[in-house]
Structure 1
């Protein structure tokens, strides 16, 4: 039941503020209970709404909401930061702890995807080519080798972002062989990709792929883990045993390895199915089933000191980088983000490691005058809890992109409040279609950073990061909406 006396008291206080305030109103004049009550009572007079609008500006309402959250049971013991920034005036409109380094979770992808788009261009594509050496005789026998030449396509065979499936690629390759008149291969199928030379790499520190007392890690070598029994299972049923520790293996097939037991300080090297090898082996199997015999085997050849003369049979082009970034940000795809990090490392430094990618991204951010103070960029996806960034640095970075020629593509890659991607279930009412932002979620970490289209036609930039909150993630999301709601009227 609503306390009518309390409600009338709230009106009196606001009215008093209306007659005495010149430009600002102390936050003690505002009560969240008043907001709740005004929506459920039939007021004796419409003056209350007018008083509120006159007394409290949109900026003051933003500040009041922020101040209210400081005492909120979900956030009062959390470490959190917030900033709304005007890209035209280059001034902070409202903020709280905006210079505090916080764990950004998947808003880290904002940095990774923009670096890739800046360095490679939104129309960049990866090529996977089928070539042959030797000659084709009158009977259609290829006396030579088939070559699968890859370039590190992160979407290869995944169906992500419009990428073809392995089956579609193989069908196209077999069609190319038919056009060349090849009916038998008297040779090997050689996998040649000098881009990603190895499948095993060191993992970023402090990475958690899925938090439910189970740890999911990307393929690679990780210290401090040495399972007594390593087993391979398929990640389809979701029926995981709570007493086992799981490790994510491959971005290409949904498999994980798990350990029954830890022995401490050892090394676990996971066994990764790599995409070019999977494509080549499936290609060979399909050729044989189609009646095209292959006498040789599938063999990798990363480098070739004396390459054979070769002719191209078919070429598969990946989706554009813009399409891949759209998929990455809409779905918060971790494997694509990590692949983009390695790609920029290779393109700039000739090395496919995560460390090279980190160097390239960090140097790019410096070139953008990114505030490096408080930045710790560890991985491309935001899965490491060792990532740190400040809200103001995120906001100024997003501001700096607005004059870039690829900004429209970048903006369109971000989930839209109430409509798409990971924001589809936020801002369903107020803010629907007006919030364009990247989300981030880890256990006790919830973040949001991007752009606001205000009711007055402005575009504002914001960052809101919450670490170590109490309660559920849905409770935090509701408070994030409440903080940002009045900013839509700025």
Structure 2
């Protein structure tokens, strides 16, 4: 039996305590000591009645939802909630389930599923080393080396088991050794046409808050309001005339500098160029290893008259399944945006955000996604222009349960109290039973995924809160409290 005292206050049941078994409590008053209150000490007669009363888990879920309507943190917020039974295809409990809300990083649920559906779980990005020309009897290559990329978003990052730049360079040098190349009388050319997957900028109108850090876009801040952003200024020496303006990159968790500061309110920022870094590291290591390179590193988008080339070595990225796991566990924005561009390229031949958006929305429409209230603007969920309804998320997650890639998709989701971005939620009740994607923007907190109930059922849920009062941690506590009785459904 669930202890009713954990879910309602004594005041709400005083008037109807003796008929409580045949009625549903719909209004619960908020106590000022709510945050620190572990349990309620009701008068003895009422306590006796409550303990003898059997309430259904659904009633307890509904009671918690009603409680939150008057909670100071949520009462002025715009929020929605739904618990859905995939067996019966019916809503168990809901509130504002048809309201379009900002989903934040739960948008990645749509992006990663589309990639797995259209590309396949075993899809890999290839980065190849090739050479042109000929090799003489002294091992001199009279020709060029080519690094041919495909927009691998994990290149050199160690993410999802990806190799480091050092490992890739070592493999490339091993390939040259097998070919007998001891000197390169030519250039190292980066074929960059398909490297567009490496992110150059964020979506417009982004003001993202996570762990009290604001993230600026790569590119220029001209289209957003930097007055809302937190600039981090590196302190120069007293003799320095120049100050570099920094921000924390959500892509690689490194400080990235602003190349140009045009005064308030414009900054132009720069991200590391993955293929250029690989090529320059490759050249430097060749020279250090005694393999001379007479030419330079040259990026080339297209080649009207391509040279005849021979493959030396090919580096394969981790599988898409591995990339999706890392993306959802860590809520990696760079990988999510790269997945969006990759599906755009594979379907439409154009590796851009716009093509990716078209492919994702068309895929969702074909799969029967409830398009009412949907506004899909980016792959990561950083844009505040994204919108989706709780019921659409829940039905979408339900529809995936029969897909062949569902197991890997499900396993990519953080687990309450145990892994990823849910490691610090559901540490007590719900530990190991909540499998969901989290989302966080400034004054936006979301959660959507699956519940494994105490009776062994799998339920689907979506909970999105916009424009709340108080801190993120306060909202997390409310979300846990709303979902806690659902574990007994």
TM-score range, shorter-chain basis? 0.7 to 0.9
Question: Given that residues 250 and 272 in structure 1 are in contact (C-alpha distance below 8 angstroms), is that contact kept between their aligned partners in structure 2?
Answer: no
* CA shift for structure 1 position 291: 0.4
After superposition, the Cα gap between the structure-2 partners of 1:352 and 1:221, relative to the gap in structure 1 and judged at 3 Å, is farther
* CA shift for structure 1 position 386: 1.2
Asked if 1:80 corresponds to 2:79, the answer is yes
Question: Given that residues 18 and 49 in structure 2 are in contact (C-alpha distance below 8 angstroms), is that contact kept between their aligned partners in structure 1?
Answer: no
* CA shift for structure 1 position 26: 2.9
After superposition, the Cα gap between the structure-2 partners of 1:8 and 1:379, relative to the gap in structure 1 and judged at 3 Å, is closer
* CA shift for structure 1 position 271: 3.6
Paired with 2:153 and 2:114, the residues of 1 have a C-alpha distance of 16
After superposition, the Cα gap between the structure-2 partners of 1:244 and 1:460, relative to the gap in structure 1 and judged at 3 Å, is farther
The answer for the alignment partner of 1:423 in structure 2 is: 422
* CA shift for structure 1 position 215: 5.0
Question: Given that residues 14 and 46 in structure 2 are in contact (C-alpha distance below 8 angstroms), is that contact kept between their aligned partners in structure 1?
Answer: no
Asked if 1:254 corresponds to 2:228, the answer is no
Asked if 1:66 corresponds to 2:68, the answer is no
Deviates more, 1:419-428 or 1:191-200: 191-200
* CA shift for structure 1 position 27: 2.5
> Within 5 A, what are the aligned runs for 1:389-408?
389-408=388-407
* CA shift for structure 1 position 205: 2.4
Paired with 2:13 and 2:253, the residues of 1 have a C-alpha distance of 61
The answer for the alignment partner of 1:484 in structure 2 is: 483
Kindly tell me the number of residue pairs found equivalent between the two proteins: 468
After superposition, the Cα gap between the structure-2 partners of 1:376 and 1:225, relative to the gap in structure 1 and judged at 3 Å, is closer
After superposition, the Cα gap between the structure-2 partners of 1:479 and 1:244, relative to the gap in structure 1 and judged at 3 Å, is farther
Asked if 1:443 corresponds to 2:445, the answer is no
1:181-235 superposed Cα distances (whole Å, 9 cap, x missing partner): 11101111111132135979675221124479975333235534799xxx99889
Cα RMSD of the aligned pairs, angstroms, is: 3.3
Paired with 1:108 and 1:11, the residues of 2 have a C-alpha distance of 40
The answer for the alignment partner of 2:309 in structure 1 is: 310
Asked if 1:462 corresponds to 2:465, the answer is no
The answer for the alignment partner of 2:183 in structure 1 is: 184
The answer for the alignment partner of 1:16 in structure 2 is: 18
Paired with 2:387 and 2:141, the residues of 1 have a C-alpha distance of 56
The answer for the alignment partner of 1:113 in structure 2 is: 112
Paired with 2:244 and 2:281, the residues of 1 have a C-alpha distance of 32
**Please, what TM-score do these two structures have when normalized by structure 2?**
0.87
Paired with 2:197 and 2:59, the residues of 1 have a C-alpha distance of 55
The answer for the alignment partner of 2:238 in structure 1 is: none
After superposition, the Cα gap between the structure-2 partners of 1:454 and 1:186, relative to the gap in structure 1 and judged at 3 Å, is same
The answer for the alignment partner of 2:170 in structure 1 is: 171
After superposition, the Cα gap between the structure-2 partners of 1:333 and 1:249, relative to the gap in structure 1 and judged at 3 Å, is closer
* Secondary structure of the structure 1 residue equivalent to 2:310: strand
Deviates more, 1:244-253 or 1:126-135: 244-253
* CA shift for structure 1 position 105: 0.7
After superposition, the Cα gap between the structure-2 partners of 1:68 and 1:361, relative to the gap in structure 1 and judged at 3 Å, is same
The answer for the alignment partner of 2:95 in structure 1 is: 96
1:309-347 superposed Cα distances (whole Å, 9 cap, x missing partner): 211111111000010110010000111111111111111
Question: Given that residues 143 and 187 in structure 1 are in contact (C-alpha distance below 8 angstroms), is that contact kept between their aligned partners in structure 2?
Answer: yes
After superposition, the Cα gap between the structure-2 partners of 1:59 and 1:249, relative to the gap in structure 1 and judged at 3 Å, is closer
1:5-58 superposed Cα distances (whole Å, 9 cap, x missing partner): x99888876751256x1xx42324898899957577998999656524x1x110
* CA shift for structure 1 position 304: 2.0
Question: Given that residues 330 and 420 in structure 1 are in contact (C-alpha distance below 8 angstroms), is that contact kept between their aligned partners in structure 2?
Answer: yes
After superposition, the Cα gap between the structure-2 partners of 1:244 and 1:451, relative to the gap in structure 1 and judged at 3 Å, is farther
* Secondary structure of the structure 1 residue equivalent to 2:94: strand
Asked if 1:326 corresponds to 2:325, the answer is yes
* CA shift for structure 1 position 129: 0.7
Question: Given that residues 28 and 63 in structure 2 are in contact (C-alpha distance below 8 angstroms), is that contact kept between their aligned partners in structure 1?
Answer: no
Listed as ranges, the gaps of 5+ residues in structure 1 are 1-5, 236-242
1:144-175 superposed Cα distances (whole Å, 9 cap, x missing partner): 11111111100000111110110010011111
